[in-house]
A and B are shown apart, each in its own frame.
Chain A
Amino acid sequence: MSIVEVERLTKRYGQENAVEELSFVLEKGTATALIGPNGAGKTTSLSMLADLLSPSSGTITMAEGLTIGFLPQHPQYFPWLTALEFTEMAARLSGIESKKAKLQSTRTLEFVGLEAAVNKKIGAFSGGMKQRLGLAQAIVHQPKLLLLDEPISALDPTGRREIMNLLKTLQQDTTILYSTHILNDAEEMTDQLLFMKEGRLIEQGSLNDVKNRHAAPQIRIRFPDHNQAAEFIGKLSWEHKIKGDTVFLPVYKNGPSMQQVLQILASEKQDILGIDFQTASLEEIFLKVVAAK
């Protein structure tokens, strides 16, 4: 079931199109990663979905009564409020009644790992704490749709891992749309990928679809040295690439299978250091897609 439908969404600033004819659908309970180089229009798109910006043209259709939580890339706070006061205010402005708002705020702050700072003034928070508080205010009212602009980019590796785990927990009953340029993490939590470049959607689909479209998986074999590698591929009729002591064999429909390769290696009594099945990383695909169009 789709809960958000975006159709030909466009945002113009003067002559410039920050976002151009963007169309996609968010299915209920899925996580969608919005990726693209800086200036691709990710933040502008999220701002329009959060109803901060109004589109120049195009439509956003949301399921009735859809509640939204939004985390901007650089959330700014009133430094004179405590974390609890702020989260409570956020919850109540979203329509939660006062007693429940307090309870949910305390729980949410615990959930994001701020239990020790509940009554501290936000002015004294570190960057990482502010990022966690940002997530807390976005989820405190238990929204059905979460819009997150670079939720993890500003965190250190430990914090990033923690927040990713939190997001995965949330994903069970929330639809998430998030932008990121940490592609390893995107790979970990995504049902749908949206690639943007210069305001346009240049690629979309599930992780597997996108990978298969742009880079066939390959078998990677490492030989003891370059000569042995070169000698070995001389005996093959398959498409191949060689890089130093490593040989890559792209796997197409009728290309080599792992079994075939192992058989040849065995019959040639060829010694190797390692062999594995490799799929392209999202990062490689990203670079390819962005460079191509």
Chain B
Amino acid sequence: MKQFNILMQKEWRENTRNYKIYWIPAIFILLGITEPVVNYFLPQILEASGGLPEGAVFEMPAPTPEQILTAVMEQFQTIGMAVLILAYMGTVAGERKSGTATLLYVRPLSFPFYFLSKWVMASAISLLSVWFGFLGGYYYTLIFFDKVEWSKLLQMVGTYSIWVLLIVSIVVAASAAMPNGGLAAAVTFAVYLVLQLGDGLFGTNWSISPVKLPQYAAAWLSGSPDSASLGGAIGVAALLIFVLFVFGSWASRKNKAKTKV
């Protein structure tokens, strides 16, 4: 446990001193705000960019606040997840490749704690970023559109957070297993795509598939997802995260010899 504290302190210093703790949330806040703001100003934007014939009448149905928040989540699903994957692809692999890990590995290091410290820090910053991002989006939706119940937002963000944790677990475990950050990112993107594709093609009946967590998160806005399916999906996600933790600890120990001496 003592080792965990020391390693957490190291991760904390790293993530504050290389500004990850600022710029990752900043990107999510920006993504979150962009959606309601762009939607609100869309008529003016179209007008300013021109191209519409004189006298053209342009009727646009105003999006509902629920639609805006769902769109925010979709932004997080594409750009947001890519940012997280790229930010943490090197968290273990990079240390090995540069050789900074060597001076840790020559000590009686607990690899589960080593992996856990990486996972906790990446998860904390990712969740913080997602939460702030939704908060920003929610605030501007409230100002420009309409109210969404606070409890609905919380349920949505809570459900989506499990999904974020799963993605972070995949990228940190890939970083432990792969020889460098680039490959770790490639593997994570591949897993991400295969999961989405598999679930999309064959998963109609896989109600407990964790890939459906974002869908269930969005479902909170218009009602509530089927609680058995949601519970199942969260359970499967938790199990996968645990498996990834065991695998990641094992892989970081196994790859100890690959650190540059």
Give the contacts of B231-260 with A (CB-CB under 8 A): 256-257, 259-260
Contact between A90 and B107 (Cβ–Cβ < 8 Å)?
A: yes
Contact between A77 and B100 (Cβ–Cβ < 8 Å)?
A: yes
Q: B13, B102, B107: which has the most chain A beta carbons within 10 Å? A: B107
B94 to chain A, nearest CB (A): 11
Give the contacts of A59-103 with B (CB-CB under 8 A): 68, 70, 72-78, 80-81, 85, 89-90, 92-95, 97
B102 interface neighbour in A52, A80, A95, Cβ under 8 Å? A52
A89 interface neighbour in B10, B99, B260, Cβ under 8 Å? B10
Question: Is B103 on the interface with A (CB-CB < 8 A)?
Answer: yes
Question: Is A54 on the interface with B (CB-CB < 8 A)?
Answer: yes
Bound form: Cα–Cα A89–B15 in Å: 16
Contact between A70 and B17 (Cβ–Cβ < 8 Å)?
A: no
Contact between A94 and B103 (Cβ–Cβ < 8 Å)?
A: no
A42 to chain B, nearest CB (A): 11
Number of interface residues of B (CB under 8 A): 26
Number of interface residues of A (CB under 8 A): 28
Question: Is B30 on the interface with A (CB-CB < 8 A)?
Answer: no
Nearest residue in A to B101 (C-beta to C-beta)?
A76
Question: Is B14 on the interface with A (CB-CB < 8 A)?
Answer: yes
A12 to chain B, nearest CB (A): 13
Contact between A93 and B256 (Cβ–Cβ < 8 Å)?
A: no
A137 cross-chain contacts in B, Cβ below 8 A: 103
Contact between B107 and A78 (Cβ–Cβ < 8 Å)?
A: no
A93 interface neighbour in B6, B17, B260, Cβ under 8 Å? B6
Question: Is B26 on the interface with A (CB-CB < 8 A)?
Answer: no
Bound form: Cα–Cα A77–B100 in Å: 5
A77 cross-chain contacts in B, Cβ below 8 A: 100, 103
Question: Is A53 on the interface with B (CB-CB < 8 A)?
Answer: yes
Nearest residue in B to A53 (C-beta to C-beta)?
B257
Known: A76-B260, A89-B6. A52 touches B105 (CB 8 A): yes
Question: Is A51 on the interface with B (CB-CB < 8 A)?
Answer: yes
A-B residue pairs in contact (CB < 8 Å), sample of 5: A43-B261, A70-B103, A73-B261, A80-B17, A90-B107
What 9 A-B pairs have minimum CB-CB distances, sorted nearest first? Answer: A76-B99, A80-B17, A70-B106, A93-B107, A76-B100, A92-B6, A53-B257, A72-B261, A50-B106
